[in-house]
Chains A and B, each alone.
Chain A
Amino acid sequence: MTIIEGVLRGNVRDIARLITIVENELPEATAAMQSIFSHTGTAYTIGFTGPPGAGKSTLVDKITLQLCRQGKKIGIVAIDPSSPFSGGALLGDRIRMRDIITEQEVFIRSVSTRGSMGGLSRAAGDIAKILDAAGKDVVIIETVGVGQDEVDIFKTADTSVLVLMPGAGDDIQSIKAGIMEIADIFVVNKADREGADGLITSIRQMLDLNTAPGPWRPPIIKTSATQNEGIEELLKAVQEHREFLTISGSLAARRKERLRTEIIRLVERRVSRLVQSQIKQNGRFEKLVEKVAAREEDPYSCVERIVKPLEQK
């Protein structure tokens, strides 16, 4: 299988092609991921999440440039939303990643959510694995612009960075419950704007109010990505978090938990496809829907009819 060999050697064309295969769930995808898996686990994964326009892509650009200067090889998965109507997408994260597009050791892949909720795409984790197997030292995943509840990045990245900006004052209140809890590092970007210090205070207060604080208290880093300010500090914070995870043993635990979730997800997906292919045979499913719509049958009995035979197999 030459494409796998190419990926392991870091060949751009093969990496790009394999990502396409996995994204489209082409028949050869599973076998390819099987051969790749044993070559993964060496890259460190950093997730960037936050509301639209907070400056995630620009920060990723600056951070990557710094890491390149340290001689690191970087893979980037940049996710933007897909259209709920056409399924198409406009992927524009590269526009902000101008400093790094010609770096030899940087591989950027723009990805659409393809309808996935949670801030990532279904294939994002597999794409990160491909980049890992291709020899990247660091894989950066940038989520879509998120609101409150899109916490999947936490299940995929080793370190999750939440990027916020001043001037969205009430947002911080509204996002307290979901996404504010998953951040390993807070970034207040656009710190040159009015309100940055107020935002920092309110994050700090939220952290102080935590009734069950863990051993890691997320630091709050002030950055101004377009001015290249605070980038060193942010990298230092990521490094410190990585050391904390490694020394405390949490890194291994987190990664194991992640694999547990992934296996369950893969099983669910496989079973769900099996069920769908079964019920959609011979138009039987459509007939059931007609009956329910005509109020001749209820949805719950309909489910019984579909699942019972499968359970008996």
Chain B
Amino acid sequence: MGKDTIVRVMVAKPGLDGHDRGAKVIARALRDAGMEVIYTGLRQTPEQIVTAALQEDVDALLLSILSGAHNHLFPRITQLLREKGGENILVMGGGVIPQDDIPGLKQAGIREVFGPGTSTEVIVNFVKENVT
């Protein structure tokens, strides 16, 4: 990535839970780290998220979920991204996700999963180090 290129990140809320305080805190931290953050609002379908990520040409996609539907929604999103030419986008997940589910999600293309209590600094640094 060129030094003048600004990193673009999308923060998205797939599924039906209505809690986005965490997503907003992370969006704000990424903004303060000099990134352009696109926030799409609550209750997005995988199709909506993927369409938006492709149009916005984001480098990274952060999915926040608290409803427990991550095992269904996250792999669906990574699959759609692969189908539509977005396989280079760095996809991460966050929210309430049991430890046991993490290996499966990583297998499905989620590069990292951030649980409750993760500092925003860790997430910001992960994005910085892993976008290409």
Known: A26-B2, A83-B31, A109-B55. A88 touches B37 (CB 8 A): yes
A101 to B10, CA, bound (A): 15
Q: Which of B4, B37, B39, B40 contacts A24 (CB 8 A)?
A: B4
Q: Which segment of A91-99, A238-246, A265-273 sits at the interface?
A: A91-99
A173 to B9, CA, bound (A): 39
Known: A26-B2, A88-B37, A94-B41. A16 touches B55 (CB 8 A): yes
> Is B47 part of the contact surface with A, judged by Cβ < 8 Å?
yes
Q: State whether B2 touches A88 (Cβ < 8 A).
A: no
Known: A16-B55, A17-B57, A101-B51. A24 touches B34 (CB 8 A): no
Q: Which of A87, A90, A107 contacts B37 (CB 8 A)?
A: A90
Chain B residues lying within 8 Å of A17, measured Cβ to Cβ, are 57
- Would you call the interface of chain B mostly helix, strand, loop, or mixed? mixed
Q: State whether A13 touches B28 (Cβ < 8 A).
A: no
Closest to A86 in B: B34
Closest to A18 in B: B57
Q: State whether B4 touches A25 (Cβ < 8 A).
A: yes
Q: State whether B56 touches A95 (Cβ < 8 A).
A: no
| Chain A 84-123 per-residue mask, 1 if CB under 8 angstroms from chain B, else 0 | 0111111110110010011000011110101000000000
A299 to B82, CA, bound (A): 56
Q: How far is the CB of B124 from chain A (nearest CB, A)?
A: 10
> Is B17 part of the contact surface with A, judged by Cβ < 8 Å?
no
Chain B contact residue count (CB 8 A cutoff): 31
Closest to A75 in B: B55
Q: State whether B34 touches A110 (Cβ < 8 A).
A: no
> Is A66 part of the contact surface with B, judged by Cβ < 8 Å?
no
Q: State whether A86 touches B52 (Cβ < 8 A).
A: no
> Is B54 part of the contact surface with A, judged by Cβ < 8 Å?
yes
Interface residues of B in 41-72 (CB under 8 A from A): 41, 45, 47-48, 51-52, 54-57
A95 to B8, CA, bound (A): 17
Q: State whether A98 touches B41 (Cβ < 8 A).
A: yes
Q: State whether A90 touches B54 (Cβ < 8 A).
A: no
Q: State whether A83 touches B51 (Cβ < 8 A).
A: no
Q: State whether A90 touches B6 (Cβ < 8 A).
A: no
| Chain B 74-87 per-residue mask, 1 if CB under 8 angstroms from chain A, else 0 | 00000000001110
A270 to B40, CA, bound (A): 36
> Is B121 part of the contact surface with A, judged by Cβ < 8 Å?
no
Q: State whether A88 touches B36 (Cβ < 8 A).
A: yes
Q: How far is the CB of B99 from chain A (nearest CB, A)?
A: 31
Additional 10 contacts, C-beta under 8 A, given A90-B37, A92-B39, A101-B52 = A13-B54, A16-B54, A24-B4, A26-B5, A87-B6, A88-B30, A88-B32, A91-B39, A94-B39, A110-B36
4 tightest CB-CB pairs across the interface, nearest first? A95-B41, A16-B57, A88-B31, A86-B34
| 22 A-B contact pairs sorted by A residue (CB < 8 Å) | A12-B54, A12-B84, A13-B86, A16-B54, A20-B5, A24-B4, A83-B31, A86-B31, A87-B34, A88-B32, A88-B33, A88-B35, A88-B37, A89-B37, A90-B37, A92-B38, A92-B41, A94-B39, A101-B52, A102-B51, A108-B55, A114-B6
